[in-house]
Structure 1
Amino acid sequence: MTKRFDYLVFIGRFQPVHNGHLKLIHAALEHADKLIVICGSARQAVSPRNPFTLAERESMLRAALPADLQHRVFMLGCSDRMYNDQQWVTEIQSQVDKVIAVDTASLGHRAAEFSIGIVGSRGSRNAWYLELFPQWQRLEVDDEPGIDAQCVRDALFDAGGSRFDSCVAKLPPAVFDWLQVFRGGEVHARLAAEYRYLQDFRRSWAVAPYPPTFVTVDAVVIHSGHILLVRRRGMPGKGLWALPGGFIEQDEPIRDAVIRELKEETRLKVPAPVLAGSIRASRVFDHPQRSLRGRTITHGFLIELTPTGEGLPKVRGGDDADRAQWVPLFEFNRMETELFEDHFYIVNWFLGQI
């Protein structure tokens, strides 16, 4: 039977793969010869919201797919690009073009010569991104009722594990078995501890009349092709690299807060007036899902220090950081999986301003 599309594109996070994903994949393959699965958050550091690597999510998907469909499904990863939708769209378009080019290399055709569509859940509150691809005809599929990846993750990290057993009907059998093995590993233990920390953090303000909005600051300090990073001492994100920063105090202006946090966490041997005078740009970063602690809006500051002939200023970890280090920018660009929250994307936004 002739298919309506040569290729359909399915974008999701698959944290984890569940029966709703499989329903959509089977529906897509009824209308298309091939399906290109684009896996979001592909290079994020693991966390209770993103517990599985790209390779692990592909392993789950392959385990859940029937053998006769394997060759019709491609899976690739893309970064989130939180503060630049056009970069995100461009990366997905490029990924799709490369898949089709490789898949049809023997035919000598270009991607533009094939019918390409995009598939998504009908009525999903998270389907806004479909509007960013007007060149691809949309195929909408009804959601599988009663399945939510967040609920599965909550059950996965819940103490005792009894809630996870109830997820068996929501997951492909192979994925349920895969996750049972995952629950016995060190990564699960670490993420479960962080999940409990975050739950306790949220409970601490549960009596407020409405959820609070936290205000933080982050410093992007550049010196001679290097960026200043700190390694987090505690949860959340213990052991991940991050920008120097933190919560503002009740009695200080935001600009003063970023200088204070920078000095406290790095012991940077540069006078505060020099740091303030070296601020080149600032921006508010407010993605609703940027922090697992709750609604957290950060004010980022780009601080460019002028070389003095004395090399990089000495730094050492302090306060919430167990280490501070100058990192060459070319190395930083390979550290996406090691960065806390959205700090990789904050830095890349500022680097575009230099």
Structure 2
Amino acid sequence: MSELIAKDLDQKDNKHYKYLVFIGRFQPFHSGHKAVIDEALKRADEVIMLIGSANLPRSLRNPFTVEERTAMIKGAYSKDEAARIHCVALDDALYNDTRWLKYVQAGVRSVTGDLHADIGLIGHSKDSSSYYLSLFPNWASVAVPNYQNLSATPIRDSYLMGATPTPERTPESTRKVLNEFKTSADYKQLNEEAGFIDTYKKQWEAAPYPPTFMTADALVVQSGHILLVERRSMPGRGLWALPGGFLNPKETLFDACIRELREETRLKVPEPVLRGSCHSQHTFDDPYRSARGRTITQAFYLHLKNDAKGLPKVKGGDDAAQAFWLPLAELNAKMMFEDHYAIITKMVGL
């Protein structure tokens, strides 16, 4: 009996698929990722690369566009092999697993045309970010070992601080894209921000354990418009953000929200009205939401009543270069700081 079971498992391990799906951010694409694709090309007719964190602004965690990552991936293979690799952009959906699963299904279907085709997921369980391997019960899971224990994070971090990636960790195609990107204004800004974050984190090196920061954000909506600020300083200089900031030692989270809102926007609404307009609140605690370190925020949704006189006047102050009302239809994930777009879609229900 045990011999029959072993034979059955061996047949499953050697199964050939029509499609194998590899989900990742590939920031950047390294030799460990390539090892997974190499195996997928052996085990499937076609490989679907779902390239995550698409349609976001460049940041220390996500510095490269989908197009740049596609060039890294396809450039590592011959013309015939590259033709079997389909690179598809995959948007994030922080705080909404159901929406993210829908995005994955749509991305796969854009290639296969049928979600009931012979499809498998390939990857390795690196950490909690690989939990997706268990979210698709209708698709087989193909596990592969971690190649030389490689991770994109140290490669990316050292590169943004000025180092040159090595052939031992990255394919030539990746190094080509990185070398070209290093001459750009975008790299210069990210390099400056990486230095800022490095200095910022060194302030806490003597702490007995890594600090956790607490912030409060204000999500203010009136008449189909949302109140945003443009960030004046790093990190995220020039990006749009919710008004908010760090909690002071002797204030509640809601008090911090109201204080930061008034400091950054000079919103012409009486404080009692603001306090009485709180519709809901929610905690946002994705471990990677901030480059500064573990930062948990409490967001408060303030829904102001429609007013025939129009939207209240605002003016940028404190850490905000400007404050402005934006129609909800004009929200753009590529312009939003950290996870603020995900916060808005979660709380407003967009």
TM-score, normalising length from structure 2? Answer: 0.93
Q: Distance in 1 between matches of 2:268 and 2:102?
A: 41
In the superposition, relative to structure 1, how do residues 124 and 311 fare at CA in structure 2: closer, same or farther (>3 Å)?
closer
1:88 equivalent among 78, 82, 100: 100
- Residue by residue over 1:278-335, the C-alpha shift from the partner in whole angstroms, topping out at 9 and shown as x without a partner, is 0000001011111110110000010000012110111111000001110001111xx1
Contact 1:24 1:141 in 2 (8 A): yes
Q: Which residues of 2 match residues 87-106 of structure 1 at below 5 A? A: 87-101=99-113
Deviation at 1:155, TM superposition (A): 1.7
Q: What residue in structure 1 maps to residue 74 of structure 2? A: 62
Q: Which residues of 2 match residues 257-268 of structure 1 at below 5 A? A: 257-268=256-267
Contact 2:215 2:296 in 1 (8 A): yes
Contact 2:105 2:115 in 1 (8 A): no
Tell which deviates more after alignment, 270-279 or 177-186.
177-186
Deviation at 1:64, TM superposition (A): 1.5
Correspondence 1:143 to 2:146 = yes
Q: What residue in structure 2 maps to residue 12 of structure 1? A: 24
Q: Which residues of 2 match residues 308-319 of structure 1 at below 5 A? A: 308-319=307-318
Deviation at 1:193, TM superposition (A): 0.5
Correspondence 1:193 to 2:196 = no
Q: Distance in 1 between matches of 2:270 and 2:77?
A: 59
Deviation at 1:121, TM superposition (A): 1.5
Contact 1:156 1:183 in 2 (8 A): no
Q: Distance in 2 between matches of 1:75 and 1:123?
A: 22
Contact 2:74 2:85 in 1 (8 A): no
Q: Distance in 2 between matches of 1:197 and 1:272?
A: 35
Give, as a single letter, the amino acid of the residue that structure 2 aligns with 1:25.
I
Deviation at 1:125, TM superposition (A): 5.2
In the superposition, relative to structure 1, how do residues 328 and 141 fare at CA in structure 2: closer, same or farther (>3 Å)?
same
Q: What residue in structure 2 maps to residue 106 of structure 1? A: none
Deviation at 1:88, TM superposition (A): 0.4
Give, as a single letter, the amino acid of the residue that structure 1 aligns with 2:335.
E
- Residue by residue over 1:64-91, the C-alpha shift from the partner in whole angstroms, topping out at 9 and shown as x without a partner, is 1221112211111112211011110111
Q: Which residues of 2 match residues 65-214 of structure 1 at below 5 A? A: 65-101=77-113, 110-112=114-116, 114-121=117-124, 124=127, 126-159=129-162, 161=163, 164-165=164-165, 167-214=166-213
Q: Distance in 1 between matches of 2:151 and 2:120?
A: 25
Deviation at 1:124, TM superposition (A): 4.9
* Paired residue secondary structure (2:345): helix
* Paired residue secondary structure (1:318): coil
Contact 1:58 1:75 in 2 (8 A): yes
Tell which deviates more after alignment, 343-352 or 128-137.
128-137
Q: Distance in 1 between matches of 2:79 and 2:170?
A: 18
Q: Which residues of 2 match residues 162-311 of structure 1 at below 5 A? A: 164-165=164-165, 167-311=166-310
Deviation at 1:168, TM superposition (A): 2.3
Q: What residue in structure 1 maps to residue 348 of structure 2? A: 351
Contact 2:316 2:323 in 1 (8 A): yes
- Residue by residue over 1:69-115, the C-alpha shift from the partner in whole angstroms, topping out at 9 and shown as x without a partner, is 122111111122110111101110121112212xxxxxxxx442x21
Deviation at 1:123, TM superposition (A): 5.3
Q: Distance in 2 between matches of 1:147 and 1:336?
A: 30
Structure 2 stretches lacking a partner, 5+ long: 1-13
Contact 1:13 1:41 in 2 (8 A): yes
Deviation at 1:146, TM superposition (A): 4.2
* Paired residue secondary structure (2:179): helix
Q: Distance in 1 between matches of 2:230 and 2:126?
A: 41
- Residue by residue over 1:15-63, the C-alpha shift from the partner in whole angstroms, topping out at 9 and shown as x without a partner, is 0111111110110111111111101101221111110011111122121
TM-score, normalising length from structure 1? Answer: 0.92
Percent identity, aligned pairs only? 44
Contact 2:231 2:319 in 1 (8 A): yes
- Residue by residue over 1:155-177, the C-alpha shift from the partner in whole angstroms, topping out at 9 and shown as x without a partner, is 21224x3xx25x22111112112
Correspondence 1:26 to 2:38 = yes
In the superposition, relative to structure 1, how do residues 269 and 125 fare at CA in structure 2: closer, same or farther (>3 Å)?
closer
Give, as a single letter, the amino acid of the residue that structure 2 aligns with 1:321.
A
Question: RMSD of the alignment, in Å?
Answer: 1.5
Q: Distance in 2 between matches of 1:275 and 1:309?
A: 18
Q: Distance in 1 between matches of 2:260 and 2:133?
A: 40
Q: What residue in structure 1 maps to residue 11 of structure 2? A: none
Q: Distance in 2 between matches of 1:282 and 1:205?
A: 30
Q: Distance in 2 between matches of 1:154 and 1:11?
A: 21
